[in-house]
Chain A
Amino acid sequence: MAREITYRDALREALREEMYRDERVFLMGEDIGAYGGSYAVTRGFLQEFGPERVRDTPIAELGIVGLGVGAAIGGLRPVVELMTINFSLLAMDQIVNHLAKIYYMFNGQFTAPVVVRTVEGFGQLAATHSQFFENYFAYVPGLRVVAPAVPKDAKGFLKAAVRGNDPVIFIEHSLIYRNRGEVPDGEDFVLPLEGAEVRREGQDVTIVSWLRGYYLALGAAEELARAGIECEVIDLRVLRPLDVETIVRSVQKTNRLVIVEEGWKSFGVGAEIAAAVQERALDYLDAPILRVASVEVPMPYARNLERLVVPNKDRVIEAVREVLYQRLPAPLTR
């Protein structure tokens, strides 16, 4: 059996169930308790679980993650929250130099199974609060980096992350918390923290994306279908480990690939996917791999300018037509 719930409720269920299942699980982050969480994911948790297990912290991201690392080594199962991914930069030393390396550097003697929940997105928040940094984490061996787009994955991944033995960077998106989707019943619904998924089949073009980009891809595919173009839409779901195989299999069928990402194009996740796909499927490609990404400027505040920066459905459609060599010719100028 399954129910339709929001992405936010999927996260809430995952956390609640794991907190009831295992007393070692606790939450720590800025404004997650009395305030209820910036995106209301932990609303009511302080009352339900008490201040030992739902810990409001100072605004000290390095400390939040660092205490998580120590608490995990000490036998707990911390789920720490970085209010937005922009602030994760302050915690980078703990994440990259310690969290990601402890298992390897100390020869497998112990692990630090910390779940770092964070969220990216935009909405007229200007340059320092509208960034997409999943590539920073996906670069680092030792981290698992998940970016669920649908409620089912949000729940299954979060529960798996809490139960697993590796550090997990769990990236949410502020503009999809209200999206709804089916989630299987049962407290033991967990998903492996790996693997992309083909969510829409088609034979003309493959579109790969994740988080909000997945919804843009889906919208573009629906519109293109009305014009007789069938896109295969892959939800990447997990950035590390990267499931190249699923993308390659699709490209072997469609011979064309468009990647939709909200981060800046240069040195991004899309660049990695394009490189990995051409290594394995160059002969199958009938067109260059295109990336739809953000314009490379610090995010401006003004509504009209912000809209110009981030990918939208029309830009995805345009890219699909381009890899099909169907792009309308530019109007002749006199």
Chain B
Amino acid sequence: MTSTVDGQLPGVALPKSELLEMYRLMVLIRRFEEVAAEQYALGKIAGFLHLYIGEEAVAVGAIRAMDPEDHLVTHYRDHGYALALGLDPRRCMAELFGKATGLVGGRGGSMHFADASKHFWGGYAIVAGLLPIAAGLGLASKYLNQRRVAVAIFGDGATNNGAFHEALNFAALWKLPVLFLCENNQYGMGTAVQYASAVREMYRKACAYDIPAEQVDGQDVIAVYEATKRALDHCRSGNGPYFLEALTYRYRGHSMADPETYRSKEEVEEWRRHRDPITRLREQLLTHNVATIEELAALDRAVEEAVAEAVRFADESPDPDPATLTQFVYADPITVS
């Protein structure tokens, strides 16, 4: 059994502190969402709630690899990205509760998390709609001679949409610093990928635009981190866009309303038991003596408390002020009536 004295995994350059932070964030995302599902059942959360459980390694691996100045736009299954960015779980939960203290003041809900201070320009809820926007962010970065990369995170379903192809073509044509990160969770809502896409491997679609592309195990947070780092370096060095496909799986339904008639319980169980990203990192950390059971348990407890506190905060927060209803439709004044 390999072990390291300085708290590293064999062949992995990340320090212990970073590995533990990845572990903590993945546990936080999972616990946050499990509790969100409970709160949904209690009627505290309404509308759409798309859970990310099972896919945590993609958000954490990718976002930990980004520079703080990089742009981020994502699809609507977006709680994980906000938490991986380090946004306050209390404000995330308050947004799900539709409260004034939410990330976007209760105006967006589950699908429209955003934080301009982190250059997280939002979760977008029309499939593939975020991709041209990401290319535009890349264009701004290049135009302004910045070193920022625009990171777009989207699902396999988006790759069959025209907006995807327009965005890839623009990004490649103009050599824009855009990382297209496709989370292939095997299903576009309830339609398995083989019934929706002529090509089973999403990354192969990038070759039509001469964009370098690769597939990565989306259940391996370190693999995602390392692949994202390499991809970002490529984009940052002026080589244009890059395409990463992370193979992953969502354990829960598409949304809370999903009867899950389109897949077997055995299939879900198989991923949960054998390919879970949190279990995987946990076992690596323990096996290689990077962390002790007690250390991980302490992180688990802290997450448990943070999520409980997030629910308390959301519950106690005020509703949005009705007087603000028509605020923020226009930025400049209107005087005619």
Number of interface residues of B (CB under 8 A): 48
B interface residues (Cβ-Cβ under 8 A, vs A): 71, 73, 103-105, 107-108, 112, 114-116, 121-122, 124, 126, 129, 131-141, 143-144, 150, 162-163, 166-167, 169-170, 173-174, 327-332, 334-337
- The 30 listed contacts between A and B (C-beta, < 8 Å) are A24-B144, A58-B173, A60-B166, A63-B169, A65-B132, A66-B163, A66-B167, A70-B137, A70-B140, A72-B136, A74-B139, A76-B139, A76-B140, A93-B163, A94-B132, A103-B328, A104-B329, A106-B104, A107-B104, A107-B107, A107-B114, A111-B331, A142-B330, A165-B331, A238-B336, A241-B334, A241-B336, A243-B336, A244-B336, A245-B336
Known: A104-B328, A165-B331, A244-B337. A66 touches B133 (CB 8 A): yes
Q: Is A213 an interface residue (CB 8 A)?
A: no
Instruction: State how many angstroms separate the Cβ of A34 from the closest Cβ of chain B.
Output: 15
How many angstroms between the C-alpha atoms of A74 and B163 in the bound complex?
19
Known: A63-B166, A74-B140, A142-B330. A242 touches B336 (CB 8 A): yes
Interface string of A218-255 (1 = CB under 8 A from B): 00000000000000000000100111111000000000
How many angstroms between the C-alpha atoms of A149 and B336 in the bound complex?
19
B170 / chain A contacts, CB cutoff of 8 Å: 57-58, 60, 63, 67
Which among A58, A73, A194 is the interface contact of B335 at CB below 8 angstroms? A194
Do the beta carbons of A71 and B129 come within 8 Å of each other?
no
How many angstroms between the C-alpha atoms of A141 and B330 in the bound complex?
8
CB-based nearest A residue for B104: A107
Do the beta carbons of B143 and A52 come within 8 Å of each other?
yes
How many angstroms between the C-alpha atoms of A294 and B95 in the bound complex?
47
CB-based nearest B residue for A103: B328
A144 / chain B contacts, CB cutoff of 8 Å: 330
How many angstroms between the C-alpha atoms of A62 and B131 in the bound complex?
10
Do the beta carbons of A71 and B137 come within 8 Å of each other?
yes
Which among B122, B134, B143, B166 is the interface contact of A26 at CB below 8 angstroms? B143
Instruction: State how many angstroms separate the Cβ of B144 from the closest Cβ of chain A.
Output: 6
Do the beta carbons of B331 and A63 come within 8 Å of each other?
no
How many angstroms between the C-alpha atoms of A58 and B171 in the bound complex?
11
Among A55, A67, A76, A141, max chain B CB count under 10 A is at A67
Secondary structure of the B contact surface, majority rule: mixed
The 10 residue pairs across chains A and B that have the minimum distance between CB atoms: A70-B136, A66-B132, A74-B140, A63-B166, A165-B331, A108-B328, A67-B136, A70-B133, A107-B105, A107-B104
Do the beta carbons of B132 and A110 come within 8 Å of each other?
no
Interface string of A47-88 (1 = CB under 8 A from B): 000001001011010110111111111111010000000000
Q: Is A16 an interface residue (CB 8 A)?
A: no
How many angstroms between the C-alpha atoms of A173 and B32 in the bound complex?
53
CB-based nearest B residue for A243: B336
How many angstroms between the C-alpha atoms of A63 and B166 in the bound complex?
6
A interface residues (Cβ-Cβ under 8 A, vs B): 24, 26, 52, 55, 57-58, 60, 62-63, 65-76, 78, 93-94, 97-98, 102-111, 113, 141-142, 144, 164-166, 192-196, 238, 241-246
Given contacts A106-B107, A107-B328, A113-B331, 6 further A-B contacts (CB under 8 A): A60-B170, A63-B170, A66-B167, A74-B141, A141-B329, A166-B330
How many angstroms between the C-alpha atoms of A94 and B108 in the bound complex?
17
A70 / chain B contacts, CB cutoff of 8 Å: 73, 121, 132-140, 150
Instruction: State how many angstroms separate the Cβ of A101 from the closest Cβ of chain B.
Output: 9
Do the beta carbons of A194 and B163 come within 8 Å of each other?
no
